[in-house]
Chain A
Amino acid sequence: MDAVTERVIQVIAKAQHIPVETVKAESTFEELKIDSLDGLQIVFALEEEFDISIPDEEAKALRSIEQAVAGIRQLLAAKASATA
């Protein structure tokens, strides 16, 4: 598993108060019983973890770990090229 996915899994497990082993790279938010309030807290935690800013539309559209990882990679890349 790559570093970004691992960190995303850690953040989500902590936010949901569930064991890390129960969160898989393929898990959907529905499977993890993440509701809208949970989603808000997870977006906040991910922003804090990676020091990024996730736009509203993307935040609302988040439905899975894979999606979160892909979006975060993009934001990290954009950040890297902006400071390059």
Chain B
Amino acid sequence: MNRRVAITGIGVVSAVGLNRQQFWQSLAEGKCGIGPIESISTEGLRFQHVAEVRGFDPLVALDPKEVDQLDRNAHFAIAAAREAVDDARLELTRELGERCAIATGCAVGGKASEDASYYELYAEKKTRFHPLTIPRVMANGAASAISSKFGITGPVWNVSTACSSANHALGQAFAMVRGGQVEVALAGGCEGLMAYGFLKAWDVMRVVAPDTCRPFSKDRKGMVLGEGAAILILEPLERAQARGARIYCEIAGFGLGSDAFHLTMPSPDGGARAMSMALRDAGLAPEQIGYINAHGTGTPANDSTETKAIRAVFGDHAERLPVSSTKSMHGHALGAAGALEAAATVLALHHGLLPPTANYTTPDPECDLDVVPNVSRAVRVEAALSNSFAFGGLNAVLAFKAPASL
């Protein structure tokens, strides 16, 4: 079976908006959600800024017991899942639940919960800490909680592949819907990483910017961590049309592969291969792509390497191809990154508006693409790609087609 697959619902919790509408509004305005960390101390860290989710009340989507049993990343995921299911007007009957998949990308699980318990153990020398530390820490906590909450008994799993986690989750869920293994999928990602030890681990790797995230800019100094979640509803195009669902766009292809190069440095070949594979899988020619949501972390290494990869795949077309990094606004949310970016890409196609690369100051000859600097651009494009190029060389690219092409 090889069915076309539509995106019919989106839910988001992010540093630039606690729901889909706020998220999109911020991206459309080029509004940046990076600021000084509020929830924990940054003493001893070289950076003070993250894209933190502020003002989120877990009790809106969860009951108090669920809040206790799960880490923040799962709180975000459940809220996003709730919004997505409602947005799609998806009726999850028991029968449909059996034919429904959940695939989340969560790279590091409940870091804040883990950190808090270990602090009590090692620093405060306590003899006991919270007994639900394990369920809070497990990276599948969100996926399992969404399953219980919505009565979904089909295939449910979590993917942990660093910055590509959510793209891998979305891609695999897409394959299952396309191939007929399931009738609908809730797919995306979640991450909550406000734990001092974890932030320190990023600090010492010296890839985090001390100022802000400026992808593709000559004065870029690194990435900025973010948190949040996004869940998308995937269902067969025919099914969506038959029930009169609002169709955001089509998810048309998935390309993936490994650099086999270096533990942290990216290789342009790996990214290029994944993009080419996504195009082939979607049956798209490079010239049909009108927008790329870049991995665009803002590190010196990624942005120039990604530029090379894009030029290798798109040739002359790269001169006219807008490429922006929304990490400049919602931060690098690790496991959730691909999901936030898929949401941004889908909404860009739906609204005919390309989100900008925020905080852009100076052109870099090594990143000489049209990066849609600072201001969003109204243009209807036929198709788009969303890139995730992770640590460990794992690349995952999603291809989307605009509703007009349906």
Q: Which residues in A have some Cβ–Cβ distance to B below 8 Å? A: 16-17, 37-38, 40-41, 43-44, 47-48, 53
B128 contacts partner chain A, Cβ-Cβ < 8 Å: yes
A37 touches B132 (CB 8 A): yes
Q: Within the complex, which residue of A17, A38, A44, A53 is in contact with B130, where a contact is CB–CB below 8 Å? A: A44
Residue of B nearest to A42 (CB): B131
- List residues of chain A with CB within 8 A of the CB of B127: 53
Query: Chain B residues near A17 (CB, 8 Å)?
Result: 63-65
B65-A43 in contact (CB<8A)? no
A38 to B132, CA, bound (A): 10
* Nearest B residue (CB) for A35: B65
Interface contact B128-A41, CB-CB below 8 Å: no
**CA of A48 to CA of B131, assembled, Å:** 12
Task: Report the bound CA distance from A32 to B131 in whole Å.
Answer: 20
Residue pair B64, A43 in contact (C-beta under 8 Å): no
Q: Is B281 an interface residue (CB 8 A)?
A: no
A76 → B minimal CB distance (Å) = 17
Point out the residue from B63, B69, B128, B135 that lies within 8 Å of A44, measured CB to CB: B128
* Chain B residues whose CB sits within 8 angstroms of the CB of A38 once the complex forms: 65
Whether B131 and A44, one on each chain, are in contact in the complex, defined by CB atoms closer than 8 angstroms, is: yes
A-B contact list, 10 entries, CB within 8 Å: A16-B65, A17-B64, A17-B65, A37-B69, A37-B132, A38-B65, A40-B131, A44-B130, A53-B127, A53-B128
Question: Within the assembled complex, what's the spacing in Å between the Cα atoms of A37 and B130?
Answer: 11
In chain B, positions 53-74 with a C-beta closer than 8 Å to chain A are 63-65, 68-69
A53 to B132, CA, bound (A): 17
- Excluding A37-B132, A44-B131, 4 further A-B contacts by CB distance (< 8 Å) are A38-B65, A40-B131, A48-B128, A53-B127
Instruction: Give Cα distance in the complex from A17 to B63, angstroms.
Output: 9
Q: State how many angstroms separate the Cβ of A55 from the closest Cβ of chain B.
A: 13
Chain A residues whose C-beta falls within 8 Å of the C-beta of B68 in the assembled complex = 41
Residues of A within 8 A of B65 (CB): 16-17, 38
User: Could you say which residues of chain B place their CB within 8 Å of the CB of A44?
Assistant: 128, 130-131
Complex-state Cα separation, A53 to B64, whole angstroms: 26
Q: How far is the CB of A49 from chain B (nearest CB, A)?
A: 12
A40 CA to B69 CA, complexed, in Å: 11
**Interchain nearest-CB distance for B69 vs A (Å):** 7
Chain A residue at minimal CB-CB distance from B68:
A41
In order of increasing CB-CB distance, the 8 nearest A-B pairs are: A17-B64, A40-B131, A44-B131, A41-B131, A47-B128, A17-B65, A44-B128, A41-B132
Smallest distance from the beta carbon of B127 to chain A beta carbons, Å?
7
Separation in Å of the A61 CB from the closest CB of chain B?
17
